[in-house]
Amino acid sequence: MLSLIDRRKLSRSAHDFIDENRLHSLLDLRVGPERLDDVIAKSMSKQPLSVDETAVLLAADRPEMVEKIYDAARRLKQDVYGNRIVLFAPLYVGNECTNDCQYCAFRRSNPDVVRRTLDEDELRQQVLALERKGHKRLILVFGEHPHYDADFIADCVRHVYATRTGRGEIRRLNINAAPLDHDGYRIVKEAGIGTYQIFQETYHHDTYRRVHPADTRKGNYLWRLDGVARAMEAECDDVGIGALFGLYDWRFEVLGLVAHALHLQKHYNVGPHTISFPRLRPALGVKLHETHLVGDKDFKRLVAIIRLAVPYTGMILTAREPAEIRRAVLGFGVSQIDAGSRIELGGYTEVGDAQVMEREQFELGDIRSLDVVMRELLVDGYIPSFCTACYRLGRTGEHFMEFAIPGFIRNFCTPNALTTLMEYLVDYASPETRKAGEEAVRRELEKLPEGERKNQLRDRLRRIAESDERDLYF
Ligand code: SAM
Ligand code: SF4
């Protein structure tokens, strides 16, 4: 398969930067409390960690050390992101797939899954259903198939943005699909995408080969590893990386993710916009090998460690995880979650309360409604946000980093989170959620210093509550 992909199509930075021997040797590290404190201090000064420094956090497994890491991750999250949690929903467009990933129900060798690609009207119906619940940010998900080329993805993107109902609209559309070439990324960028996400799944070469057969497009490790670098070169400057935890040693995957983030930082002056860390879930016809499945304790550790390693990278926790785990790890690192998610094709209008395994890629752990998740967040002291301001004002990629400075959260992120929250409360929330939300807005307003920005914010919140004005971002 390697030969099928023209090397000239790779990025200028393309090479296999995952040095397995080195990463493995770092997993044998022993650390004392002083070295751990040094590394934590570096994170707290908001500097990205090197791979070696991340290995120190991985080696720190004594209970008091793990507590220190949790505590630091909590503080760092609060410092960089405040108590906002951004909400989105996934929208599966098509599950045709020419790959044969051993962990996925959509793999080509699975005869039992129902294959489907939403047509324009079906896509529209899904988007309308999501807008009616209050969603403003979606991620479109595709299998890898010649039908789902860049033009097709771009058409879907334009179609979604054009689908509106009442006050409902989608303001940011991210993509999770197969890696493209430069021209392909330009086409989807032109259609107005937000982040382009590609998960490497596993950074461990042998495991990668085992779960992705060589005669498939995904079987090419380097083509995939290089996928987000090509995207950046084609001006998709917000990219997302991820690993599927459970295929190989989770500590190795964390080092792989950090190596990937540093590679992008080195060659493109900016790291990934987001990191995802899905855990393997049961899926139709998939036998999960127990060896590397990640337990809840290790999962919490890995979330906190990633937070400390990449202070400015958004971290996405999906509804693969059950509600109680989501709640437990939100505080030490996560910046985005999906809610009210259904991943069956057509799932937002056609299925009932139970999941339909024949129609989904894997089983979700949390299918509570958006309203219920919003209420829990509010009661727990978070500000759920649907903010899309940065991307629409060109604060992306390298430019986004310039804004990730002290005062930015207070002046932009919190106000934008509150105005988008207010829109939700007025337009979509149940009475209980609205009550919890209005209380949260009052609480947050009290915390903001008096001044021009606070006056502007008060004015906008009032206009949203009393009129049809919407989308009033800073
Ligand atoms: N088909 C594209 C690809 O593979 O890049 C798009 C992404 S796929 C539809 C979304 C992601 O779901 C995959 O990258 C993989 O990490 C994850 N996934 C697949 N099977 C899974 C499973 N059984 N449990 C949890 N996540 C899974
Ligand atoms: Fe296809 Fe993606 Fe599933 Fe692999 S993970 S079989 S590429 S849909």
DSSP 131-142: HHHT--EEEEEE
Do residues 200 and 95 share a domain? yes
Q: What is the pLDDT of residues 174-193, one digit of tens each?
A: 999 999 999 999 999 999 99
- Kindly report the average pLDDT of the chain as a whole number: 94
Q: Is the pLDDT of residue 3 over 70?
A: no
177 lines ligand 2 (CB under 6 A): no
Helix, coil or strand: residue 292: coil
Q: Ligand 1 centre and the CA of 45: distance in Å? A: 34
CB 191 within 8 A of CB 157: yes
Q: Per the domain annotation, does 117 fall within a domain?
A: yes
Do residues 297 and 329 share a domain? yes
Q: Per the domain annotation, does 196 fall within a domain?
A: yes
Which of 32, 50, 76 is a domain's end point? 76
State the closest ligand 1 atom to the C-alpha of 95, by its place in the atom list counted from 1: 9
93 lines ligand 2 (CB under 6 A): no
Q: Ligand 1 centre and the CA of 49: distance in Å? A: 27
Residue 400: its pLDDT value, please? 59
> Tokens representing 14?
């393309």
Which residue's structure tokens are 């042998």? Answer: 206
Q: Per the domain annotation, does 473 fall within a domain?
A: no
Distance CA 49, CA 311 (A): 9
Sequence length of the chain is 474
Q: How many domains does the chain have?
A: 3
**CA nearest 224: which of 203, 193, 252, 249?**
203
Helix, coil or strand: residue 270: coil
Residue 409 vs residue 225, higher pLDDT: 225
Residue 119 falls in which region: left (phi positive, over 0), alpha (psi -120 to 50) or beta? beta
Query: Which residue out of 102, 106, 140 has the highest number of ligand 2 atoms within 8 Å of its CB and is therefore the one to mutate?
Result: 106
Residue 7: its pLDDT value, please? 73
- Residue partners of 376: CB distance under 8 A and separation at least 6: 323, 327
Looking at all shown ligands, the one closest to residue 284's CA atom is 1
Do residues 88 and 234 share a domain? yes
Q: What is the pLDDT of residues 46-93, one digit of tens each?
A: 999 999 999 999 999 999 999 999 999 999 998 888 899 999 999 999
Residue 14: its pLDDT value, please? 96
Q: Is the pLDDT of residue 258 over 90?
A: yes
Q: Among 70-79, 264-273, 400-409, whose mean pLDDT is lowest?
A: 400-409
Q: Per the domain annotation, does 129 fall within a domain?
A: yes
Do residues 212 and 307 share a domain? yes
Q: What is the pLDDT of residues 198-222, one digit of tens each?
A: 999 999 999 999 999 999 999 999 9
Residue 401: its pLDDT value, please? 56
Cα dist. 279→135, 200, 291, 297, 329 in Å?
A: 25, 13, 13, 13, 14
Do residues 45 and 188 share a domain? no
Residue 397: its pLDDT value, please? 67
- Mean pLDDT for the stretch of residues 233-258: 97
Do residues 314 and 193 share a domain? yes
CATH number of the domain enclosing 199: 3.20.20.70
Do residues 215 and 170 share a domain? yes
Residue 92: its pLDDT value, please? 96
Q: Per the domain annotation, does 373 fall within a domain?
A: no
Do residues 400 and 452 share a domain? yes
Model pTM score: 0.96
Q: Per the domain annotation, does 210 fall within a domain?
A: yes
Domain hosting residue 462, numbered range: 394-466
Do residues 58 and 94 share a domain? no
- Mean pLDDT for the stretch of residues 351-372: 89
Give residue 466's identity as a one-letter amino acid code: E
Residue 404: its pLDDT value, please? 59
Which of 47, 76, 105 is a domain's end point? 76
Q: Is the pLDDT of residue 474 over 90?
A: no
Looking at all shown ligands, the one closest to residue 343's CA atom is 1
Percent of the chain exceeding pLDDT 70 equals: 96
Residue 294: its pLDDT value, please? 97
Q: What band does 5 get if pLDDT is binned at 50, 70 and 90?
A: low
- Mean pLDDT for the stretch of residues 348-367: 87
Residue 405: its pLDDT value, please? 60
**CA nearest 202: which of 232, 233, 180, 224?**
224
Q: What band does 6 get if pLDDT is binned at 50, 70 and 90?
A: low
Do residues 422 and 327 share a domain? no
Do residues 264 and 158 share a domain? yes
Bridge partner residues of 84 (DSSP): 383
Q: Per the domain annotation, does 342 fall within a domain?
A: yes
Do residues 57 and 96 share a domain? no
Which of 76, 101, 116 is a domain's end point? 76
Please list every protein residue whose CB sits less than 6 Å from any atom of ligand 1. 103-104, 141-144, 176-178, 198-199, 201, 244, 278, 280-281, 283, 286, 320, 361-362
Looking at all shown ligands, the one closest to residue 107's CA atom is 2
Residue 464: its pLDDT value, please? 97
- Mean pLDDT for the stretch of residues 357-379: 93
Report residue 239: phi and psi, to 5°: -120, 155
Q: Per the domain annotation, does 297 fall within a domain?
A: yes
Q: Is the pLDDT of residue 410 over 80?
A: no
